[in-house]
């Protein structure tokens, strides 16, 4: 199999390798089926991006592509790269504009039969109480500088201390909802101003809040530990750091473009602008990016709290009747300092996961005590018409992918093409015929996010399971969605 002048070797049915040639410092590895690889070669430049990332100074082992891989800014979406903390670089392209875009899942004691008669009213009220769309604001009071700087530094504990959820939610959030290297002083005033009115808002694009039903249980023991059961109602939230994170990325792309020249770093693509991790520019980006990540965790926490309140008020039920609690929250656009084994020795690395989810195994010290037996919960959302999956991490993930797996379905069509396909159609009615009641700020958002615009997330998730990287626990089916 060939891509341009590169030979692609098949390692096994779900893994392909591009040997390190020319300026590549490590091989590229892509987790896909042969059929998926043929499609990527024909239609996507994401393979070239895997090759480009393999040229970053200090990169370790491989430049990875997950099965949801598609073209992104600098790095492919679905890309993973680990760079040595002392000798490597950090790149905003390996995180993306939406810093700590991520997913959280909350469980309830309600069943689908409990809410069927009230579903439309629940979705209407969620749409009313949780602002959506470009520039959306007003979910809670506009934050002042003091609150902003505190939450940027301290992470999700700010939301909990201000009455949004409880301390148990911190335990069930990746990194307990805070990256401790965050420094608000590294964040521009423009980024702070953009974030002030947007706390507790979904935004636009592929961000959503879903009311889902547990359709299938694959691993009963793991599902029980996660608090999941068949026909159960769960809430899935997908959003990130809004204008705050976008501005941080935009600011530092300019700074790190200059740093790349300053440190004489030769790059195959200027979108891979980077700086040595230990440099002032690298440390400043790491501190600002961490602050953006902390904003995102607070954002999802506030949205979850608003959703809980809305459901209780709509159904006239008590907290004990609802029994609402956070299963887990994962990020999939982030750079984190982690320790991993490379050639048998533990190394301090900077893990870039862009459109990729952490997938730590059982007994990992960073997991909550109640999940030590089963491994880290992984949330893999699909499109709004089919299904999503809850998985858990494996030891093989730690050995092969620095504890990383896929993050979602991955786009099959550009937003422009998807909008063209939706022209003249009643897309809201089409979704309702699929059993999903959708409310969105605009028609174009729904057109961009229709199921036909995405890969089948079941195929994507199966690749990682068959490769031994993550294991499926449950399948979720959407019945109600709000979008921007």
pLDDT of residue 136: 87
Model pLDDT for residues 208-247, shown as the tens digit of each residue: 999 999 999 999 999 999 999 999 999 999 999 999 999 9
d(CA 199, CA 100): 14
Tell me which residue of 104, 185, 124, 190 sits closest to 149, measured CA to CA.
185
Query: If pLDDT is split at 50, 70 and 90, which confidence band does 43 have?
Result: confident
- Tell me how far the alpha carbon of residue 211 is from its chain's centroid: 18
d(CA 468, CA 482): 34
Could you say which of 207, 238, 332, 407 is catalytic?
407
Q: Work out the percent of the chain whose per-residue pLDDT is above 90.
A: 94
Asked if 88 contacts 265 with a C-beta cutoff of 8 angstroms, the reply is no
Q: What angle do CA 437, 230, 439 make, to 5 degrees?
A: 10
* Mean pLDDT value across the chain: 96
Query: If pLDDT is split at 50, 70 and 90, which confidence band does 142 have?
Result: confident
Is the model's pLDDT at 53 over the cut of 90?
Answer: yes
Residue whose structure tokens are 């999939």: 332
Lookup: tokens for 199? 């706390």
Judge if pTM exceeds 0.95: yes
pLDDT of residue 441: 87
| 270 exposure class (CB count in 10 Å sphere: 0-12, 13-18, 19+) | exposed
What is the average per-residue pLDDT within 51-75?
Answer: 97
Segments making up each domain of the chain, as ranges: 2-92, 102-483
d(CA 313, CA 310): 5
Give the H/E segment covering residue 324: none
Is the model's pLDDT at 44 over the cut of 80?
Answer: no
Superfamily of domain 102-483: tRNA-splicing ligase RtcB (3.90.1860.10)
Query: If pLDDT is split at 50, 70 and 90, which confidence band does 167 have?
Result: very high
E strand map for 240-332: 275-276, 325-331
Asked if 446 contacts 438 with a C-beta cutoff of 8 angstroms, the reply is yes
d(CA 104, CA 107): 10
Catalytic residue at 444? no
Query: If pLDDT is split at 50, 70 and 90, which confidence band does 422 have?
Result: very high
Q: Beta strand pairing status for 28-30 and 59-70? A: parallel
Is the model's pLDDT at 484 over the cut of 90?
Answer: no
pLDDT of residue 134: 87
Buried b (16+ CB within 10 A) or exposed e, 128-165: ebbbbbeebbebbeebeeebbbbbbbbbbbbbbebebb
What is the average per-residue pLDDT within 90-116?
Answer: 98
């Amino acid at each position: 199999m060939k891509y341009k002048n590169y030979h692609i070797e098949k390692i096994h049915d779900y893994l392909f390798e591009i040997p390190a040639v020319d300026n590549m410092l490590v091989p590229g590895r892509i987790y896909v089926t042969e059929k998926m690889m043929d499609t990527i070669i024909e239609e996507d430049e994401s393979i070239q991006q895997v090759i480009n990332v393999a040229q970053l100074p200090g990169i370790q082992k491989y430049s990875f592509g997950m099965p949801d891989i598609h073209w992104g800014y600098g790095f492919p979406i679905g890309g993973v790269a680990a760079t040595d903390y002392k000798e490597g670089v950090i790149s905003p392209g390996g995180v993306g504009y939406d810093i700590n875009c991520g997913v959280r899942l909350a469980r309830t004691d309600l069943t689908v039969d409990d809410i069927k008669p009230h579903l439309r009213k629940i979705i209407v009220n969620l749409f009313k109480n949780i602002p959506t769309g470009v520039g959306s604001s007003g979910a809670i009071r506009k934050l002042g500088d003091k609150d902003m700087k505190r939450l940027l530094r301290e992470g999700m504990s700010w939301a909990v201390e201000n009455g949004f959820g409880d301390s148990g939610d911190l335990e069930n959030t990746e990194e307990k909802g805070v990256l401790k290297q965050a420094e608000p002083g590294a964040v521009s005033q423009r980024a702070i101003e953009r974030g002030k009115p947007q706390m507790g808002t979904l935004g636009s694009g592929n961000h959503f809040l879903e009311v889902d039903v547990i359709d299938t249980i694959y691993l009963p023991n793991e599902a029980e530990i996660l608090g999941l059961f068949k026909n159960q109602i769960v809430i899935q939230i997908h959003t990130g750091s809004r204008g705050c994170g976008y501005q941080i990325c935009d600011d530092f792309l300019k700074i790190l473009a200059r740093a790349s020249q300053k440190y004489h770093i030769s790059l195959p693509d200027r979108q891979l602008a980077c700086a040595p991790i230990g440099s002032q520019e690298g440390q400043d980006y790491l501190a600002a990016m961490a602050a953006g990540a902390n904003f995102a965790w607070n954002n999802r926490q506030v949205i979850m709290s608003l959703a809980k309140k809305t459901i209780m008020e709509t159904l006239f039920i008590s907290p004990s009747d609802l029994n609402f609690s956070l299963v887990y929250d994962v990020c999939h656009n982030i750079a984190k300092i982690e320790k991993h084994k490379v050639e048998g020795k533990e190394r301090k690395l900077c893990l870039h996961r862009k459109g990729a989810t952490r997938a730590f195994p059982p007994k990992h010290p960073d997991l909550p005590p109640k999940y030590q037996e089963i491994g880290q919960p992984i949330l893999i959302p699909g499109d709004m018409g089919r299904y999503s999956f809850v998985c858990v991490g494996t030891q093989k993930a730690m050995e092969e992918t620095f504890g990383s797996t896929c993050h979602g379905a991955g786009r099959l069509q550009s937003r422009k093409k998807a909008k063209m396909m939706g022209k003249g159609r009643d897309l809201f009615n089409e979704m309702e015929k699929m059993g999903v009641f959708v409310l969105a700020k605009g028609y174009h958002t729904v057109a961009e996010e229709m199921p036909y615009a995405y890969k089948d997330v079941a195929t994507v998730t199966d690749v990682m399971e068959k490769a031994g990287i993550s294991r499926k626990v449950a399948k979720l089916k959407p019945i109600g969605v709000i979008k921007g």
